Each structure stands twice: as structure tokens, then as C-alpha cells.
Amino acid sequence: MSSTSGALEAVDRILNRGGDPDDILRQVVATLHERAGYTWAGIAFVEGDGLALGPHAGTPNDANRTNVPVTWQGDRIAELQVDDAPEEDRMFLERVALLVSGHCLVGWDTGGESWEP
């Protein structure tokens, strides 16, 4: 059983501390793995027509993966991925995806187009 409330508080603290976006994302996926109890958590960045795995923690179980899009100004820029998440955690994961969206811009392939954070 996952502990999403404690994990959400931990994610909030990580984001409020600030710092390098890559370090922040590494801490967030570690928190999802350790505090929320998911066997694996990762963030994959949109690159061209596919996804490139970025920070991740735990042992993957692709057979039971939940994928939550991370968007910025209407564009899908990344995907929050966790393994072995119960369906009732969906809203929690969507909230985490929203919270980390600005930090995911560092890994987003804009296809050569400029963007403003």
C-alpha cells in the first residue's frame, strides 16, 4: 500500500528547496520509490517521436507500469512512469506530474524551436 500523502509532502519539500532540475527530478523519483512504495519510478522525456528515460529509481516491472503525461503549456514534454501503482493513486501521480513539469523542461527536445519558461 502506498503512502501518497507523506510522499506528496516530501515532493513539495524537494521542489521548495529548489536547485538543479536534474537533481530535483532524481530526488522526486527516489521519493516515489522509497516513500510512496512503488517498485520503480522514472521520468522519460519526449525526444522526437519517442521517449528517452531520464532519472529513475528502483527495480523495473514493465508489465505493471502506469504512465502519466507531463505537460507544459499544453505540450507533452515528458512522462512520469511508475510500476505497481494501485489505480487509486492516479490523482496523486497526476499531481506529481503537474508539480515537476517546469523541471522537466531541461530534458525536453523542442525540435529546435525556442521556448520561454
Domain membership of residue 117 (yes or no) is no
Domain that holds residue 13: 4-107
Domain membership of residue 27 (yes or no) is yes
Domain membership of residue 63 (yes or no) is yes
Residue 94: predicted pLDDT: 97
**Given a cut of 50, is residue 112 above it in pLDDT?**
no
Number of domains in the chain: 1
Query: Model pTM?
Result: 0.88
**Given a cut of 50, is residue 1 above it in pLDDT?**
no
Domain membership of residue 113 (yes or no) is no
Residue 12: predicted pLDDT: 95
CATH number at residue 96: 3.30.450.40
Residue 107: predicted pLDDT: 63
DSSP the chain: ---HHHHHHHHHHHHHH---HHHHHHHHHHHHHHTS--SEEEEEEEETTEEEEEEEEE---GGGEEEEEEEETTEEEEEEEEES--GGGHHHHHHHHHHHHHHHGGG---TT-----
pLDDT tens digits, 18-57: 999 999 999 999 999 999 999 999 999 998 889 999 999 9
